[in-house]
Chain A
């Protein structure tokens, strides 16, 4: 069956078992089984509308903000079922951060954007907040660029800076898992390189799941790759194996560019 079996050194952070998902009566995910290893980068690839973004959103239950969705199967985070009634969705989202494709910064200052999450958790002292803001911005390599203009409106930053700011905003909540939905889709090549480098560094501390339709990007940044097609998980494995020696014909056709 499909599951990456070669990652003996990395324990599983998230285990997805027989996940089905519906928008209304339309089923968009069919029987997904996937293990996401801790502190590794897992890339989800596939053509548009293959369900990879929807899948990503189920990992921290962001799908619930859309009305009329249904889900069956289990998703275990560190062995805990995240859909168990006793699980607090707010606590879950603090452990599993997400950065959206067009994750526009909030229309606030740079500082207030990063401090948004910590403030929600009741951190009020200026020094504590400053420390978190500085650390988060340093993690995404933005600190040196913006440290003198933290009070500036976040929308005055460049596109690449805004995207890194969004990642910093997610990191400030101190999650274990970071979900990135097409983080470089709207960026120019230089900013993309920057983001890719950043993702590479993030896996030292975080479990990263990144959705991309850019196969070169998946090949460059990820350790493991999962290929989605028409709501099904076709193949998973170490990235170099998937790209050099895919086992499934559809995977082969996709990565060689025969369909998008």
Chain B
């Protein structure tokens, strides 16, 4: 092989390699790993609840930002704090990665009898700034959960003590106040970091 032919071969090889790199970069990320994107985002129903500051919470509260909404209760020692921790951790990774669209983390209590605004406030604040804790009348919580397909039911433990069985999913509400995607349990920080960009892009 002459010197010229070697040069051509090297240049050609380099061009192919560069092409592969560019194609790979422009292709990612497309498919979510865990999130289910709802084909036709749904508006939230009418409901009337309160946040940790005693301020009213209704469908309008969910306009203007991305929200990650989890339904749980503060006397849940394992699943709920673990999920809140994962959401908070994912948000911190998005901040570190320089993401300019950060979701708000919302805990809607499925045990509003025991979860007063004061208790909810201390609870959500523990997992970071800007989180929203939502409580209120049980019937009003039911209006929201029924429209979103969220299950919850009291489960007696012993004596007067009880737990609450509840859907472990995290719902994504888009800035138009529409239920647009869902993360099923088990949750992982990596899946949120990977999928949220896709969910937001899809909007």
Q: Do these two chains really belong together in a complex?
A: no
Residues of A within 8 A of B (CB): none
Residues of B within 8 A of A (CB): none
